[in-house]
Amino acid sequence: MRFMRKQACKPQLPGMTATELTALLTQWGEPRFRAKQILDWRNKGILKPGLMSNLPIHLRNYLEKFVDCCPLRLVRRETSRDGTRKYVFSLHSPRMSGKMIESVMIPENNRVTVCLSSQVGCVLDCPFCHTGTQGFTGNLNKGEIIAQVLGIMQDLNEDPLPPDLHQNVTHIVYMGMGEPLANESGVHGSLALLLDPEGLNISRRRITVSTSGLIPQIERLGAHYPVNLAISLHAADDKLRDVLVPINRKYPLADLRRCLDRFPLGHQRHITLEYVLLDQVNDRECDLEALSRFVRPHRERVNLIQFNPYPGSPYSGTPKERMNEFAQRLISKGIRATVRRSRGQDIMAACGQLKADVANKMGHRVSGEEN
């Protein structure tokens, strides 16, 4: 193997394409097939070179020394009564050293969905969202985003779900901490790896990116990575949405409407309009009528979301009975509407509750173990 100086900024194994890894191994004088061997391990969630048993010792040592194989460290895992698992990861790159992010795994009979974070905190300041109270520290790169999926895959290998549930990650949603489309570099790079047949090879029909409505970024997403799109709408009146979703002041509803009309949709696909119901805030008759006027029933569906409380929140959620009534009223107008079942609320893993905080209840602590 050729001599190589220690790099100032190591490439991250979770974020490497086959081409990039092959080029690196070629510099080291290694045969090309070693790249496939390493990627086979990585794509199973195995990131520690010492566990890559078909690699020669010298190559494992070089990976340990010159590649950042595990850019995240699992600090703790909490498990909800409903089986949802929340993961708190610590970052160790120089720009993010010691910062925390949270990811969520939601198991079901026929799927396992992983909810990814794209930022440390969030650039937006939606007043009903716990993440927004954390402020914004920085964007995750593609390796740090993909490492969340791989860390959860490893956890499922080591601690399988009950046998009646699906065991493998099948669906990805960018709905964790942060505004995904405010981090185009990291999100686009991670989407490329998720979709890559030599990467995690997940169908674009099983990937959803959620955004509060950054119009130029939505257009670029549709042009380059036309995955499923979800819009954090929460109000269909500009005056109210300016308060609940402040980015609306820059990209108002009329502009968002035109953007959504142009977004490319595959056969039998639709855009999801996410709507957290807040008691006597956006659940009134006038709010329902405004929402009904905004929706294009042939292209969109409405996902009504229970408000998940957090300490210090000024809001309360719409009672379940009125949520169901709101949904039925939309359905009577020809709009596809569902009430999302809240998962992981007891461990602060539900929609709008994520906020990495090492002072929280420790749950299943795994500090000191790397994913």
User: What does the pLDDT look like over 219-236, one tens digit per residue?
Assistant: 999 999 999 999 999 999
- Residue 31's domain spans which residues? 13-66
Question: Do 19 and 98 reside in the same domain of the chain?
Answer: no
In this prediction, the residues of the chain whose per-residue pLDDT falls under 50 are 1-3, 6, 350, 352-354, 358-371
- 258 exposed, middle or buried (CB, 10 Å; 0-12, 13-18, 19+)? exposed
**Enzyme catalytic residues:** 102, 351
Residue 6 within any structural domain of the chain: no
Find where tokens 């799927």 sit.
111
Question: Do 219 and 339 reside in the same domain of the chain?
Answer: yes
Residue 170 within any structural domain of the chain: yes
Give the domain CATH number at 33: 1.10.150.530
Residue 233 within any structural domain of the chain: yes
Give the domain CATH number at 330: 3.20.20.70
The per-residue pLDDT for 345 is 62
Helix (H) or strand (E) holding 210: strand 207-211
Q: Which of 244, 183, 235, 179 is nearest to 212 (CA)?
A: 179
The per-residue pLDDT for 347 is 60
The per-residue pLDDT for 93 is 84
The per-residue pLDDT for 356 is 54
Find where tokens 């991250």 sit.
12
Residue 371 within any structural domain of the chain: no
Return the SS3 of 275.
strand
Q: Tell me phi and psi for residue 294, to 5 degrees.
A: -75, -35
Task: Please enumerate in sequence order all residues whose Cβ is within 8 A of that of 283, keeping only pairs 6 or more positions apart, or say none.
Answer: 277, 318, 322, 323, 326
The per-residue pLDDT for 344 is 59
- 288 exposed, middle or buried (CB, 10 Å; 0-12, 13-18, 19+)? middle
Strand 136-139 to 364-365 pairing = unpaired
Q: What is the number of structural domains in the chain?
A: 2
The per-residue pLDDT for 367 is 32
Question: Do 149 and 245 reside in the same domain of the chain?
Answer: yes
The per-residue pLDDT for 110 is 93
Question: Do 43 and 84 reside in the same domain of the chain?
Answer: no
Residue 151 within any structural domain of the chain: yes
